[in-house]
Chains A and B, each alone.
Chain A
């Protein structure tokens, strides 16, 4: 078929950048000319040139952003089996609650006596997070998972320095841990030492014990890990770590698999972040806002960052400095954390109830096992089931087809699905990691399974050229990722610049 005259594909409109739509003199709102203005009132800082914002009409602006939103694929558009990201439905009830004017219109600098309800939201959510993990304290303000990792590590560092063990500079990270763990440790001034995985996808306890020593600050473990497996020796692992004076950090990114079933405190964990945007169904957003409250053991609790909420004589109070013997390591976020996300998470927890949360984690595991069992003959399952919340496959089923995991993922896009996570975790070759979450129905999973089986059959039948050409039906075809990485164009520049 020949290309269209416009370059558009039916209702898929070629969209320019908003700066390229600039039509000087065009306005959305017709304001009266300002009265003559005394430039001295600008305090010696008059404008030196045109502010480079585009001039546009209101319908142009509305259409631009509407079209951009239509190019997006989100959990509201369809199934999104992106492993390790827990892309679950965001209940509309939580959105409704977050939009209540009494919550949405608050200002973070309002006097505390006028925001008692908001402080109660933070306090009640903190209560539930402590209840669900069995941990005595929680730092609410970290703004994302990796931020929570960093917060937990800072608490560990503070605790060690406080008892004269600031020389502990090594952090152990298993190969099956979350990818952000080594980065967070490095940000915190630690060096990272990797621990190999066993054939069964779990941490090699003997190798871990061999690497422990007086210079180790902590172990960062993800449980369930990124192979979708529960670390069965975790209690022994905790004992080994504590035996050398180190702390035990757990990455809680996969907490969704065990909510209401495992108390984190029982595993010997000292600190763990919780991704509210995963486990408690708040929106992932376009890279934010997330929220990563971080639970802390009694040993680490005194070092929790400010602010935090306490029950005072005249109601709830926000503590923003040192108080009652606490030794906060500082502040990690402006104001009080992602309050809008807190509201949604609390609404989710309270509408689900304890029984609903337990049911959700069971269903998440059941759905992942349904995918694993249904697809293990068609793809190559990396580990024998059962799995936890996600099913891991590798590229052995593509051997000698000339097709890679990347090609397979691109073909998924043409079929109307967001691809699974690919090439992660690194412990298997050409990984395809699928996490269905509990919010998908059996019908949705069956349709998906049929598509994946069809693609796998097509791959085995020798359709390498079709796979190499995918995606065919998207606004853009295969992107040159190598060129983009080697010569990135990071911002638009006007032609004259």
Chain B
């Protein structure tokens, strides 16, 4: 069972210690289609829960990526900036968007686990 937690806007976060890794879900990359441009936040940026953190643009649409929790960015993933196509290949793995130091871990409780997210996706069909 994945330890990822998901938002209704299709971001995921995986936490190790007090550092969370954030990306967009496989469902999101599929809905977007071929990703052609990505912007990730710089280390040191303070982000509120639900705040705009990154940008992802596909041949069909441009979208914001919102932070599932609040915290301070520790790294942006330069690999997906150079190769936006990675988001289509490994959305829930190597194509993470940014890492952040959690300000308030209790916020994780508001997110969905894998089973709840899968059930949520079923309601969108």
Query: Chain B interface mostly helix, strand, loop or mixed?
Result: loop
Instruction: For chain B, residues 28 to 56, give those with C-beta under 8 angstroms from any C-beta of chain A.
Output: 34, 36-37
- B23 at the A/B interface (Cβ < 8 Å)? no
Given contacts A486-B36, A486-B84, A486-B85, contact A481 B59 (CB under 8 A): yes
Contact assessment for A423 and B61 in the assembled complex, using a CB-CB cutoff below 8 Å:
yes
Interface of A is mostly: helix
Residues of A within 8 A of B60 (CB): 423
Report yes or no: A485 in contact with B59, Cβ–Cβ below 8 A. yes
Inter-subunit contact A485/B36 (CB<8 Å):
yes
Bound complex: CA of A485 vs CA of B88, how far in Å? Answer: 15
Check if A114 is an interface residue, CB within 8 A of chain B: no
The contact string, 1 if C-beta is below 8 Å from chain B, for chain A 233-259, is 000000000000000000000000000
From 74 to 88 in chain B, residues with beta carbon under 8 angstroms from any chain A beta carbon are 84-85
List B residues 1-43 near A (Cβ within 8 Å). 34, 36-37
Interface string of A417-432 (1 = CB under 8 A from B): 0000001001000000
Q: Which residues of the other chain, B, contact A485 by a CB distance below 8 angstroms?
A: 34, 36-37, 59
Q: Contact: B61 with A426, CB < 8 Å?
A: yes
A473-484 contact mask (Cβ, 8 Å, vs B): 1 or 0: 000000001100
- Does the CB pair B59–A482 fall under 8 Å? yes
**Bound CA–CA A32/B59 (angstroms):** 53
* Cα separation A482 to B59 with both chains bound (whole Å): 6
Interface core residue of B59, B61, B85 (most chain A CB under 10 Å): B59
Contacts of A423 in B (CB 8 A): 60-61
Check B61–A482 contact: CB distance below 8 A. no
Q: How far is the CA of A486 from the CA of B88 in the complex (A)?
A: 13
Closest CB in chain A relative to B9 CB, distance in Å:
12
Closest chain-B Cβ to A394's Cβ sits at a distance in Å of: 14
Output the least CB separation between A352 and chain B (Å). 38
Distance between B58 CB and nearest chain A CB, rounded to angstroms: 8
- Looking at the assembled complex, report how far the CB atom of B86 sits from the nearest CB atom of chain A, in whole angstroms: 11
**Distance in Å from the Cβ of A267 to the closest Cβ of chain B?**
30
- Nearest-neighbor residue (CB-CB) of A429 within chain B: B31
Query: In the complex, what's the smallest C-beta–C-beta distance from A171 to chain B, in angstroms?
Result: 14
Rounded to whole Å, the gap between the CB of A332 and the closest CB of chain B is 26
Chain B hits for A481, CB < 8 A: 34, 59
Q: Determine the distance from Cα of A482 to Cα of B85 in the docked complex, in whole angstroms.
A: 9
- Chain B residues closer than 8 Å to A482, beta-carbon distance: 34, 36, 59, 85
Report B-chain residues with C-beta under 8 Å of the C-beta of A426. 61
- Compute how far the CA of A426 lies from the CA of B85 in the bound complex, rounded to whole angstroms: 23
Task: Give the complex CA separation of A374 and B5 in angstroms.
Answer: 46
C-alpha gap A289/B34 in the complex (Å): 33
Which chain A residues (447-497) contact chain B, with CB distance < 8 Å?
481-482, 485-486
Which residues in A have their C-beta under 8 angstroms from that of B84? 486
- Report B74-116 CB contacts with A as 1/0, cut-off 8 Å: 0000000000110000000000000000000000000000000
For residue B34, which residues in chain A have a CB less than 8 angstroms away from its CB? 481-482, 485
CB-based nearest A residue for B37: A485
Residue of B nearest to A194 (CB): B64
B81 CB to closest chain A CB (Å) equals: 12
Residues of A within 8 A of B37 (CB): 485
Q: Across the two chains, which residue of chain A brings its CB closest to B63?
A: A426
Closest to B59 in A: A481
Q: Determine the distance from Cα of A485 to Cα of B61 in the docked complex, in whole angstroms.
A: 12
A/B interface sample: 12 pairs, CB < 8 A: A423-B60, A423-B61, A426-B61, A481-B34, A482-B34, A482-B36, A482-B85, A485-B34, A485-B37, A486-B36, A486-B84, A486-B85
Name A's B-contacting residues (CB within 8 A): 423, 426, 481-482, 485-486
- Apart from A426-B61, A485-B34, what are 6 other A-B pairs with CB-CB below 8 Å? A481-B59, A482-B34, A485-B36, A485-B37, A486-B36, A486-B84
A-B interface, 3 closest residue pairs, ranked by CB to CB distance from nearest? A485-B36, A482-B34, A481-B59
